[in-house]
Structure 1
Amino acid sequence: MSTDTSSTSTQTMDQVVLTGVGGPDRLRLRRAARPVPGRGKVVVRVEAAGISFAEVQLLQGLHPFPPRLPAVPGYDLVGRIAAVGPGVTGHRVGDRVAAMPRAGAWQEYVAVPAGGLAPVPEDLDAPTAVSLVCNGVTAWQMLHRRARVRPGRTVLVQGAGGGVGTLLTSLAVHHGARVIGTASPGKHDALRALGAEPLDYRCDLRAAVRELAPEGVAAVFDHIGGKSLDLGWSLLAPGGTLVSFDSSVEGYQPGQWFRPHVPAMRRVLGWKLRALLGLTGGRRATQYYVRPGDAFREDLAALFGLVGEGVLRPAIAGAYPLAKASAAITELMERRTLGKLVLVP
């Protein structure tokens, strides 16, 4: 990744900038002025920022809500408050916090709204903490707030080797659920260690899942979208829940920002209408999108507690400096990782 060092002020910082649609080579490391907190905001010195498929979609011109380029990517972060803006109460310089700005985390300092902050334990390392901010809360809320899976039930986790998938698998097993997880064969041993029953995502999933769960599954967690949702719906037991939380962008052209996500929206809406008419046998479908707020803070605190108790051990696939953001995103795009990739400024 090339570097722009035109500014040398002591009040500058490093940041990763997406300069255009394309591959990892469109990411640039540059110097920029440190932000100043406006009213209701704080500036956080970033300790770790997450890397996710949202950034892959941005690179490929296929994110449903693209920023104006050039832009700093980065969905979530953990760090310490370095400055407090006017009107902020309850937060002080030095507080360790998590935030989910959805963009802008891939830099040394970030200005974020104070109302979206969550406290972070002092004894938790930054890569582990940031792996729980977006991915962990997503997994927790899909399991407990959307699907409301009961102990003893069977669930199917698509992409169980990913950042969300590994946490979802661990949380479901801890909750007493049986987990069938799809992944490439190279990740199967790791999934077994988490307590899952792995399946090759390229196999005949309908037949394989039916063999393991003849009566169907209580929940399907799907990050693929499209026809994969049809498969998941067909595998639900009566009263089961299908949770769609992303859409694959494979096969779409750069610039089709929202198009990859329309098939999932149409399917879920159709099943919701049928459920209202009582035509689904109690089965239901929902789309999930993580949001800040009181529930976010409550669930993140619960996740931090599980890590502190030694119950949850998030898989960190790698921690990279900002200058290696291109290499990190390449690893994610090539699906070589198990767990969460992070940037450490």
Structure 2
Amino acid sequence: MTHAENTRSRRNATVTEVVLPGVVEPEGLEVRTRPMPAPGSGEVLLQMEATGVSFAEQQMRRGKYYDQPAFPFVPGYDVVGTVVEAGPGVDSGLLGRRFAAMLKTGGWADRLLVTAVDLVPVPAGVDPAEAETLVVNGITAWQMLHRDARIRAGQTVLVHGANGGVGSTLVQLALLAGARVIGTASPRHHEALRARGVVPVDYRAPGLADRLRAAAPHGVDAVFDHVGGAGIVDSFRLLAPGGTLVSYGTAATRDTPGSSRLPVFLLFGRLALWNVLPNRRRATFYNIWAGKRRAAQFRSRTRADLIQVLALLADGSLTAPVAARIPLDRAAEALRLAESGTVAGKVVLTPVP
């Protein structure tokens, strides 16, 4: 399509997007339309096929995500879609192909601009909603397991929230690596976890630390903790000598009033203190955007890890449970469902029919 044809075709074309206007309940999300943008140099216009509802958006609507932009903005941490237009300097061979991209914000739109170098190809035959569940979740799980904790066959790991988006991916990757996995979850998820080969532990019942210690009397080689709060102390104490605590969130303080940064700073201080004490254990905080200032290296590492994860999905080694597929204009319903804690898998937004 020529530039003139593109100009004529978009005169009446619009983008539908979901805007987070401020600290609101899910029903406060706003569905808006605006003129469809043209891709600039190095950009593509992506037709969204799936975008996710993650814990990040749950924090953002409360104003609790550590480095979220100023309101109003369009949420949407990641996206899978098809390239429908390429800007100047972009290979026209990308047109019509399906890609995944990690954005942090902007994904809750039926069409959006994406920097071409951030696109990662989705293998043929892979369902776009399933691929979407493994963009941020898959990169996070892969990097924490293989780059941070460096888990090997025969080791034992503890995954908090083993039924969640990142947790369920961590469980599968750890099992594929030959590790023994203990996972905390509510009882309704225990049967499914046992079927995978996980030792499930009810995180709500009294004496959680004692029950986890009973499941691993000699300690564990890694703990993956998205909860934070006071419970992070028990996570660290469960480590065997040489073990690694990977903290990657502060879910315990999601609904706590006050500064969004204070819980993070307190967590960082605690982790730093443990690392200077002579305890033969290591504590780290995982940030998926770490190293972004070295853009080429960051993109190369992120791309390589996501390609590996999507390849495992394509060959059936990894599953990506989709809890629900909900049209974009019902984003409030999708966010409410994701926050309910009643579903297994990820809630995915799809284009409006």
TM-score range, shorter chain: over 0.9
Q: Is the 8 A contact 2:86 2:92 kept in 1?
A: no
Structure 1 window deviating more from structure 2 (52-61 vs 298-307): it is 298-307
What is the CA-CA distance between 1:191 and the residue it aligns to?
1.4
Q: Give me the whole-angstrom Cα distance separating, in 2, the residues matched to 1:29 and 1:195.
A: 43
Letter of the structure 2 residue corresponding to residue 288 of structure 1: Y
What is the CA-CA distance between 1:63 and the residue it aligns to?
1.0
How many residue pairs match? The answer is: 332
The residue that corresponds to 2:288 in the other structure is: 290
Q: Is the 8 A contact 1:170 1:195 kept in 2?
A: no
Q: Give me the whole-angstrom Cα distance separating, in 2, the residues matched to 1:87 and 1:266.
A: 45
Structure 2 gap segments, 5+ residues each: 1-9, 290-297
What is the CA-CA distance between 1:137 and the residue it aligns to?
1.2
What is the CA-CA distance between 1:91 and the residue it aligns to?
5.5
The residue that corresponds to 1:15 in the other structure is: 17
What CA deviation, in whole Å up to 9, does each residue of 1:189-209 have, x standing for no partner?
121122211111123221111
Letter of the structure 2 residue corresponding to residue 289 of structure 1: N
SS at match of 1:81: strand
The residue that corresponds to 1:85 in the other structure is: 87
Q: Choose which of 252, 256, 270 in structure 2 pairs with 1:252.
A: 256
Q: Give me the whole-angstrom Cα distance separating, in 1, the residues matched to 2:72 and 2:11.
A: 21
Q: Is the 8 A contact 1:62 1:260 kept in 2?
A: no
Structure 1 window deviating more from structure 2 (63-72 vs 239-248): it is 63-72
Q: Is the 8 A contact 2:64 2:254 kept in 1?
A: no
Which aligned pairs between 1:217-232 and structure 2 lie closer than 5 A?
Answer: 217-232=220-235
SS at match of 1:47: strand
Q: Is the 8 A contact 1:164 1:339 kept in 2?
A: no
Q: Choose which of 36, 47, 50 in structure 1 pairs with 2:49.
A: 47
Which aligned pairs between 1:67-216 and structure 2 lie closer than 5 A?
Answer: 67-89=69-91, 92-203=94-205, 204-216=207-219
The residue that corresponds to 2:5 in the other structure is: none
The normalised TM-score by structure 1 is: 0.92
Q: Choose which of 270, 273, 279 in structure 1 pairs with 2:273.
A: 270
What CA deviation, in whole Å up to 9, does each residue of 1:100-126 have, x standing for no partner?
111000001111222211111121011
Q: CA RMSD in A?
A: 1.7
Q: Give me the whole-angstrom Cα distance separating, in 2, the residues matched to 1:25 and 1:11.
A: 27
Kindly, what percent of the aligned residue pairs are identical? 44
What is the CA-CA distance between 1:313 and the residue it aligns to?
1.1
The residue that corresponds to 1:4 in the other structure is: none
The residue that corresponds to 2:34 in the other structure is: 32
SS at match of 1:140: helix
What is the CA-CA distance between 1:263 and the residue it aligns to?
2.1
What CA deviation, in whole Å up to 9, does each residue of 1:201-258 have, x standing for no partner?
123221111111111000000001122221110000000000011112344226x232
Q: Choose which of 296, 299, 303 in structure 1 pairs with 2:305.
A: 299
Letter of the structure 1 residue corresponding to residue 248 of structure 2: F
What is the CA-CA distance between 1:89 and the residue it aligns to?
4.3
Letter of the structure 2 residue corresponding to residue 280 of structure 1: N
SS at match of 1:325: helix
The normalised TM-score by structure 2 is: 0.90
The residue that corresponds to 1:3 in the other structure is: none
Q: Choose which of 310, 315, 333 in structure 2 pairs with 1:309.
A: 315
Structure 1 gap segments, 5+ residues each: 1-7
Q: Give me the whole-angstrom Cα distance separating, in 2, the residues matched to 1:35 and 1:264.
A: 41
SS at match of 1:238: strand
